[in-house]
Amino acid sequence: MKILVTPRSVTRTQGHPSLKPIGDAGYDVVFSTPGELPGEDELLKLLPGCTGYLAGVEKISAKLLDAAPGLRVISRNGTGVDSIDLEAAERNGIEVCRALGANARGVAELTLGLILGLIRSIPYSDAAMKTRGWARREGVELAGRTLGLIGCGVVGKCVARFALAFDMNVAAFDPYPDLNFQPGARFSRVDMAGLLAQSDIISLHCPPTADGKPLVDATMISRMKDGVYLVNTARSSLLDQDAALCALASGKISGIAVDAFASEPPADWRLTLDPRVIATPHIGGYTGESIERAMSVAVYNLLHALATSNDAAKARKAHV
């Protein structure tokens, strides 16, 4: 009757009100190290003996799941499950739940902030002023520019609405488009080639590729407009870092903003240290509102799945 809770946004205080229903349902809450992303060694000590697991973005390996035979449910406080070995979860009979769209607004608002930071050189100007320097870079305005969205799910749709409010054109590519989404006359659905050819700014809002290879590689970058801006608030594996650095050096890409990293903090700092890059430490969904929504959904999903599992077990026992 134990639930492991690991999202850093709630382990920092260990008293988030969204966790109250877990205690009310009779479960004991086990926390990982406050405010830190737990590694496999720590999880191997904490997870065995737990019935449920309310998980953050940490890697959840087959080794870990095999070591927790009593685990029945993993509930993510976000959308992505690429950090979870889903085959191992299925093999062990563990249900995996996602808090779909719960942090979409926070990620979308950060995306817009990063776009504005890039085109107006806001971090550059601020850094100069703090050293009593007076350095200015000429910016560009968003009106009439084209924003290309690679992925137009919940986050992408929100970003599209924001961009249209700035009088931008929005070109969206999604392999499974929502044809009912038509937020304005300046919005269009395009293929990837069309998106790359016309976009002044490209923002990534898609899952990792099936084979784990970068989506944005040297070949794709070569098909973009010269001087394009690139924003990645999705997954670090989508972007080939070496190709991105080369494109920044040549001027093919004017600037990049990133909020997604393979490890936290990054093991490779080259991209984040480039002066044409704005880097943020995975703060897209790190707002009070997003945390509240994501945790509430994750807790509900967890308790509902556990209750369903308990009912099924009782039914099987009664049948026997």
CATH of residue 63's domain is 3.40.50.720
Based on the residue annotation, tell me whether 304 is a catalytic residue of this protein: no
Average pLDDT over residues 31-52: 96
Based on the residue annotation, tell me whether 16 is a catalytic residue of this protein: no
Domain shared by 237 and 126, yes or no: yes
Domain shared by 117 and 263, yes or no: yes
Task: Please identify which of the residues 40, 161, 282, 292 carries the catalytic annotation.
Answer: 282
Average pLDDT over residues 166-189: 97
Tokens 């009979």 locate to 93
Residues 244 and 202: beta-carbon distance below 8 Å:
no
Confidence (pLDDT) at 312: 58
Task: For residue 82, give every residue at least 6 positions away whose Cβ sits within 8 Å of its Cβ, in sequence order, or none.
Answer: 207, 208, 235
User: How would residue 240 be classed by pLDDT, with cut points 50, 70 and 90?
Assistant: very high
Confidence (pLDDT) at 317: 54
Domain shared by 111 and 90, yes or no: no
Backbone angles phi and psi of 278, in degrees to 5: -105, 125
Domain shared by 30 and 160, yes or no: no
Based on the residue annotation, tell me whether 161 is a catalytic residue of this protein: no
Domain shared by 130 and 262, yes or no: yes
Q: State the burial class of residue 226 (Cβ atoms within 10 Å of its Cβ: 0-12, 13-18, 19+).
A: exposed
Task: Please identify which of the residues 8, 72, 189, 235 carries the catalytic annotation.
Answer: 235
Mean pLDDT of the residues in the chain: 94
User: How would residue 22 be classed by pLDDT, with cut points 50, 70 and 90?
Assistant: very high
Domain shared by 90 and 173, yes or no: no
Confidence (pLDDT) at 310: 64
Average pLDDT over residues 234-245: 97
Task: Please identify which of the residues 264, 270, 276, 316 carries the catalytic annotation.
Answer: 264
Confidence (pLDDT) at 319: 53
User: How would residue 199 be classed by pLDDT, with cut points 50, 70 and 90?
Assistant: very high
pTM above 0.75, yes or no: yes
pLDDT higher than 90, residue 25: yes
pLDDT higher than 80, residue 314: no
Average pLDDT over residues 191-205: 98
- Give the domain range for residue 57: 2-102+288-319
Strand, helix or coil for residue 148: strand
pLDDT higher than 70, residue 97: yes
pLDDT higher than 80, residue 315: no
Which H/E stretch holds residue 188?
A: strand 187-189
Rounded CA separation 130/196 (Å): 37
Residues 256 and 69: beta-carbon distance below 8 Å:
no
pLDDT higher than 70, residue 182: yes
Domain shared by 111 and 255, yes or no: yes
User: How would residue 74 be classed by pLDDT, with cut points 50, 70 and 90?
Assistant: very high
Q: Taking the CA atoms of 233, 239, 242 and 246 in sequence, report the sign of the dihedral they define.
A: negative
pLDDT higher than 80, residue 135: yes
Confidence (pLDDT) at 295: 95
Rounded CA separation 289/281 (Å): 18
